[in-house]
Amino acid sequence: MDNSVKIFSKQSKLYFWLDLIFKMARYNLKIIFAGRFIWFVAAALLIFLLLSINVVFNFPSYDSSTVYGMLLFPGLLLVFYPTVFGIQSDADTRILEILFGIPNYRYKVWMVRLVMIFLLTWFFLYLFCWVGYYGLTPFPVFQMSWQLMFPVLFLGSLAFLVSTMVKNGNGTAVVLIIIGVLLMMFAEALDRTQWNVFHNPYSIPDKMNEMIWAQISQKNRLFLAVSSIIFFLGGLTNLQRREKFLK
């Protein structure tokens, strides 16, 4: 009898936590999909389709490197709105005041929300990769989507960090556009190094040894991953400054 009660108790606790996780995920999905996010998804898909049509009709040959470059911008577009306008959206709907009213709760909410944002972005990129696989050229779909997530995580985490400092969606967007332009300006100069944020692991430069390029790609991914974690933690740390968010 005691064993049956223990088993029932464990099942009840498991059901409780699963139900809690499901409700939290559903609630945060509503927040993420609120506003203009769905339009950014549609715009990302449209841009990718237009780029694909242009490549098919105007370029005689294309490969994995071409597909990577075509998918990078849609991926950044997907992560742009929720990370840039998330803080302002919470402030406008008075959710931010509630989060700051519960000690340490805002960290858990934003940590879960950002994880969900990046997972959703990865999911859409994975679908886009299948479109490219069947519509353009065969390539390892999972590996392609995984490689694309490194610059997406980097710039998405940077957007979150900047949003916690600027605290205004439009202002954050302007700052990020400036940063993006600067990064693209230095991209060519840093093309053969590990410091290029837009590094394309599938685009091996002429007269470059494949083993050396693979090592550069690995170091680049490590650089982007570590930087993403630093930006992510920096943004969460900035959320401690209650007086700068609630005026």
Q: What is the pLDDT along the chain (247 residues), one digit of tens a residue?
A: 455 544 545 556 666 656 656 666 666 666 666 656 777 788 888 888 888 888 888 877 788 888 998 999 888 888 888 888 766 666 555 565 555 555 555 566 777 788 888 888 899 899 999 998 988 888 999 999 999 999 999 999 999 899 888 877 788 888 988 998 898 888 888 888 889 999 999 988 887 888 999 999 999 999 999 999 999 888 888 877 654 555 5
Residue with token string 């805002």: 106
Burial class (CB in 10 A: 0-12, 13-18, 19+), 247: exposed
- DSSP assignment of 32-43 equals HHTTTHHHHHHH
176 falls within a domain: yes
pLDDT of residue 125: 92
Q: How many domains does the chain have?
A: 1
28 falls within a domain: no
What is the pTM (predicted TM-score) of this model?
0.83
pLDDT of residue 206: 80
Look at phi and psi of residue 43 and say left if phi exceeds 0, alpha if psi is from -120 to 50, else beta: alpha
Q: Which of 194, 232, 230, 226 is nearest to 213 (CA)?
A: 194
124 falls within a domain: yes
225 falls within a domain: yes
pLDDT of residue 243: 47
pLDDT of residue 98: 54
**Alpha-helical runs (H) found in 137-209:** 141-166, 169-187
55 falls within a domain: yes
24 falls within a domain: no
pLDDT of residue 1: 46
pLDDT of residue 223: 94
Asked if residue 62 lies in contact with residue 137, where contact means CB atoms within 8 angstroms, the answer is yes
189 falls within a domain: yes
Q: Which of 127, 138, 135 is nearest to 50 (CA)?
A: 135
Tell me which residue range forms the domain holding 117. Answer: 34-245
pLDDT of residue 42: 84
Burial per residue of 5-38, b for 16 or more beta-carbon CB atoms within 10 angstroms, e otherwise: eeeeeeeeeeeeeeeeeeeeeeebeebbeebebe
pLDDT of residue 31: 61
pLDDT of residue 209: 85
pLDDT of residue 186: 85
Three-state SS at 109: helix
Reading the block at residue 181, the tokens are 């332009």
13 falls within a domain: no
Q: What is the DSSP letter of 60?
A: S
